[in-house]
């Protein structure tokens, strides 16, 4: 079934208003972002030393990709891919995410 693995995690309006938020889902801390009406979902714990990714600053890379900078030591990840912008490795896990009927849904199995 197309819908069975999508999990409702937040209100889309709430995420848009806040820009970023953290949710806990099946023991995973997930960082959600809304940038220019596009939702993103990444592992909420930084791949470096576990910093709180949802509290990071949003900006744009020189490749014009939205990215988040970890507040602890400044590692920066592309929101769409989890690629660390200095070494270009996909260090931060990302999750499929969509907005549906005013809700943000993600998949843990994607
Ligand atoms: S914990 Fe995120 S940069 Fe160190």
Which domain, by its residues, includes 44?
7-106
DSSP letter at 42? Answer: E
- CATH number at 79 reads 2.102.10.10
φ/ψ region of 101 (left if φ > 0, alpha if ψ in -120 to 50, else beta) reads left
Chain mean pLDDT for the chain: 95
Q: Is 57 helix (H, G, I), strand (E, B) or coil?
A: strand
The fraction of the chain above a pLDDT of 70, given in percent, is 97
C-alpha 30/C-alpha 52 separation (Å) is: 10
| Residue 51 Cβ < 6 Å to ligand 1 | yes
Average pLDDT over residues 86-105: 97
In this prediction, residue 4 carries a pLDDT of: 80
In this prediction, residue 2 carries a pLDDT of: 63
Question: In 10 A of CB 107, how many CB atoms?
Answer: 14
As for how many domains the chain has, the answer is: 1
C-alpha 33/C-alpha 23 separation (Å) is: 11
Average pLDDT over residues 93-107: 97
How confident is the model over 2-27, as pLDDT tens digits? 668 999 999 999 999 999 999 999 99
Q: Give me ligand 1 centre to Cα 100, in Å.
A: 32
């Amino acid at each position: 079934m197309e819908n069975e693995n999508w999990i409702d995690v937040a209100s889309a309006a709430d995420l848009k208003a806040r820009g970023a938020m953290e949710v806990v889902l099946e023991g995973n801390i997930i960082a959600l972002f809304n940038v220019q009406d596009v939702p993103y979902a990444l592992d909420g714990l930084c791949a470096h030393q576990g910093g709180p990714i949802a509290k990071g600053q949003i900006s744009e890379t020189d490749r014009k990709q939205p990215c988040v900078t970890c507040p602890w030591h400044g590692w920066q990840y592309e929101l769409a891919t989890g690629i660390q912008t200095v070494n270009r490795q996909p260090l931060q896990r990302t999750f499929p995410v969509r907005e549906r009927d005013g809700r943000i849904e993600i998949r843990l199995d994607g």
